[in-house]
A and B are shown apart, each in its own frame.
Chain A
């Protein structure tokens, strides 16, 4: 398999500077929320069914994170920790997707219209649609790598899996996408 880290793009450089947070501090958690919400939502949009679900999952992610905020260890980036939680939330959501279909429909119908919705773009994208059909962990590895610009090592640390597992997931995801996406 090719070396994935070798051709790493400038995405990592585009990532926001790592901020420091004090575990247990409500003010710091609010700051973390403001700094990372969009990126967590971006990840979730590629993993779950639609924008409403992604927003729900993002809020659920921050709720879970807040409950563990006092025990968070600053030796790992807070955003990576949040991504790990978000991916677990997305996995749970996929499991319960069918049960929530009725509620989602009601919520979507009740949603007031507003400006251009990024989710519309996402839902029209062949790539994003194909990613939603991938196993969640594979899709998550892909978005962390190619949207957030994490290295395989950083993804492995964030997800708590060996680096080789990340590489395998990425390879499997790319293979699957190549098979289904129009060239």
Chain B
């Protein structure tokens, strides 16, 4: 061993040798897997889970309401039926030798969207309590899209898109 190594050894012993008299702290206990799982389920873990579930529920509700706004009804088959009819009309209007009904159907869809959005905005202005101010929903039930799910039996009628129950759709023929 050369001088430099001796110096290293001496210095390390001088500095770290003081640890020989230092107290040994209690050992930190290892948390078991089950404890970790309980921590995840309870406390902060539970709060996180609740937040995630709430987020999913809100997102699902938003998707449902967006669909209702677009079609004017919670029942997507209503909008599907209207499109089907529109496609048939567009085909019938095609002159001999012409092809393509994309523009015709597209204009119908965009006009329908504008009409429904306008009606929804109007509904919101007419009913300032519509977002929870008045728990008695019967006061303006006639103006609202009814959220009763399909197939549910009871006093409330099944939501349908009967004639007159939906904003009128103006169909402008393509030039």
Contact = CB atoms under 8 A, between A and B. Distances in A.
A127 B1 contact: no
A177 B11 CA distance: 13
Interface of A: 2, 6-9, 11, 30, 33-34, 37-39, 41-42, 45-46, 55, 59, 62-63, 66-67, 116, 118, 121-122, 125, 127-128, 142-143, 146-147, 174, 177-178
Contacts of A8: 1
Interface in B50-80: none
Contact of A121 (B4, B18, B27): B18
Contacts of A178: 4
Contacts of A45: 16, 19
A147 B13 contact: yes
Interface residues of B, number: 22
A174 B24 contact: no
Nearest to B24: A37
B20 interface: yes
A50 to B, nearest CB: 14
Interface string B1-15: 110111011011111
A64 B116 CA distance: 63
Top 8 closest pairs, chain A to chain B, by CB: A7-B1, A118-B18, A42-B16, A147-B12, A59-B28, A146-B9, A127-B11, A38-B19
B15 A174 contact: no
B27 A30 contact: yes
Contacts of B97: none
Contact of B18 (A2, A11, A116): A116
Contacts of A55: 25
A41 B4 contact: no
Contacts of B12: 46, 127-128, 143, 146-147
A146 B5 contact: yes
Interface string B21-60: 0101101101000000000000000000000000000000
Given A46-B12, A122-B16, 17 more contacts: A8-B1, A9-B1, A9-B9, A34-B24, A45-B16, A59-B27, A63-B28, A116-B18, A121-B15, A125-B15, A127-B11, A127-B15, A143-B12, A146-B5, A146-B9, A146-B12, A177-B4
B24 A127 contact: no
Contacts of A6: 1
A147 B27 CA distance: 24
Contacts of B24: 33-34, 37-38
Given A7-B1, A34-B24, A67-B30, A118 B19 contact: yes
B71 to A, nearest CB: 50
Contact of A127 (B6, B8, B18, B30): B8
